[in-house]
Amino acid sequence: MTTTRAAGAPRRATIKDVAAEAGVSVAAVSKVIRNAYGVSEQMRERVNAAIDTLGYRPRTGARTMRGSSHTIGVLLTDFQSPFQFEVASAIAERLAGTGYQDLLSVAGVTAEAYGRRVDAMLDLQVDGLVLISPRMRTEQLHWLARQLPVTTIALHGEPEDFDTVVTDEALGAELMVDHLTRLGHERITYNEIPRDPIEIDHPLSQTVRRDGFAAAMERRGLVPDVIAAESSEAGGHELAERSLSRRHRPTAVFASTDHTAFGVLEHLEAAGLAVPGDVSVAGYDNVHTSSLSRVSLTTVDQS
């Protein structure tokens, strides 16, 4: 059936009309309507003035009739991290048979990119969000948690408005240091990821692990050797290259993630060095690949 507008009847204003009237993007109008975080007061005034001028009314009927979307948004920072991918797979498996389905998205590592993905999830009207290593400021997270149920993964601290799932990363790092020192290692190198500016009240796992490693070394009277390198395969290559170039190179490399450790192993193999004969290598996460016989990586299990 086709519905037509009576001749001469005024056309109902759309969100595109509002955007054109205010001289902003449709996304900006959507943010103002949803009272999204990060909208400036000047932007809010311009959009609201355009809404008043045009008599715009958002079409909320469809959303009201639909009710729950039966979707859970899952945001990763990247698809290359085996740990994040395994978490996402476990969420999908857990949701099977519940009547809910996961909606997966890669948000990136910058706060701006992450915020855009969160906005997109809200526009899709998900019923809840699972944020893996979220790149969001504390006030953003609390605002978001007032809009819908939110669970974070690998974000430490004691949040009040949302749930968080973490392991004792400091203990995990100490267990590995304890293992390596029992084997006789004293020169152990770890890769440091610069502390993210968003980590004011809620540090990410990467920071807690690094601090745990440093504290464990110092408690044993050893100097914590830390090299700045990303938690990635490329970061593992950089970590190994810089470690080997030192006059007193480490006898063990403790990578912040298994993904990083894989890069270390590749670099050492290319350099003709044996593991563990020349250099011992350890990781963190115990992703599936680490247990393969060809890899057989010593690692800390997140469980």
Please state, as a whole number, how many other Cβ atoms lie within 10 Å of the Cβ of residue 42: 8
* pLDDT bracket for residue 91 (50, 70, 90): very high
Note down the domain range covering 274: 169-301
- Name the pTM for this structure: 0.71
What angle, 0 to 180 degrees and rounded to 10, lies between the N-to-C axes of helices 258-270 and 82-95? 140
Q: Are residues 32 and 132 in the same domain?
A: no
Please identify, among 98, 130, 165, the residue that sits at the C-terminal boundary of a domain: 165
Q: Are residues 91 and 141 in the same domain?
A: yes
Query: Which phi and psi (to 5°) does residue 129 adopt?
Result: -130, 140
- Return the pLDDT at 8: 44
Query: Which phi and psi (to 5°) does residue 58 adopt?
Result: -60, 145
- Return the pLDDT at 1: 38
Contact assessment for residue 167 and residue 148, using Cβ atoms and an 8 Å cutoff: no
Distance, in Å, from the CA atom of 105 to the CA atom of 299, rounded to the nearest integer, reads: 28
Spell out the residues 6+ positions from residue 223 whose beta carbon is closer than 8 angstroms to its own.
Answer: 217
Place of tokens 């293992």: 179
Q: How confident is the model over 117-169, as pLDDT tens digits?
A: 888 888 888 999 999 888 888 888 888 888 899 999 988 888 888 899 999 99
The yes-or-no verdict on residue 35 having pLDDT over 80 is no
Is 247 inside a domain boundary? yes
Is 4 inside a domain boundary? no
The yes-or-no verdict on residue 2 having pLDDT over 60 is no
Q: Are residues 152 and 73 in the same domain?
A: yes
Q: Is 206 helix (H, G, I), strand (E, B) or coil?
A: helix
CATH of the domain at 267: 3.40.50.2300
The yes-or-no verdict on residue 62 having pLDDT over 70 is no
Contact assessment for residue 152 and residue 163, using Cβ atoms and an 8 Å cutoff: yes
Q: How many helices (H) and strands (E) does the chain have?
A: 11, 10
* pLDDT bracket for residue 60 (50, 70, 90): very low
Mean local confidence (pLDDT), 273-292: 89
Please identify, among 149, 165, 181, the residue that sits at the C-terminal boundary of a domain: 165
The yes-or-no verdict on residue 3 having pLDDT over 70 is no
Compare 62 and 157 and report the one with higher pLDDT.
Answer: 157
The strand pair at 298-301 and 280-285 is best described as parallel
Q: Are residues 47 and 82 in the same domain?
A: no
Please identify, among 113, 136, 165, the residue that sits at the C-terminal boundary of a domain: 165
Q: Which long-range contacts (CB under 8 A, 24 or more apart) does 13-21 make?
A: 13/54, 13/55, 13/56, 13/57, 14/56, 15/56, 15/58, 17/54, 17/56, 18/47, 18/50, 18/51, 18/54, 18/56, 19/50, 21/50, 21/53, 21/54
Domains held by the chain: number: 3
Q: Are residues 160 and 173 in the same domain?
A: no
Distance, in Å, from the CA atom of 104 to the CA atom of 94, rounded to the nearest integer, reads: 14
Q: Are residues 195 and 277 in the same domain?
A: yes
Is 1 inside a domain boundary? no
Mean local confidence (pLDDT), 47-71: 69
Distance, in Å, from the CA atom of 203 to the CA atom of 199, rounded to the nearest integer, reads: 5
Distance, in Å, from the CA atom of 205 to the CA atom of 193, rounded to the nearest integer, reads: 10
Compare 182 and 69 and report the one with higher pLDDT.
Answer: 182
Mean local confidence (pLDDT), 70-93: 87
* pLDDT bracket for residue 173 (50, 70, 90): very high
Counting residues of the chain whose pLDDT is more than 90, the rounded percentage is: 38
Compare 7 and 274 and report the one with higher pLDDT.
Answer: 274
Query: Which phi and psi (to 5°) does residue 168 adopt?
Result: -80, 85
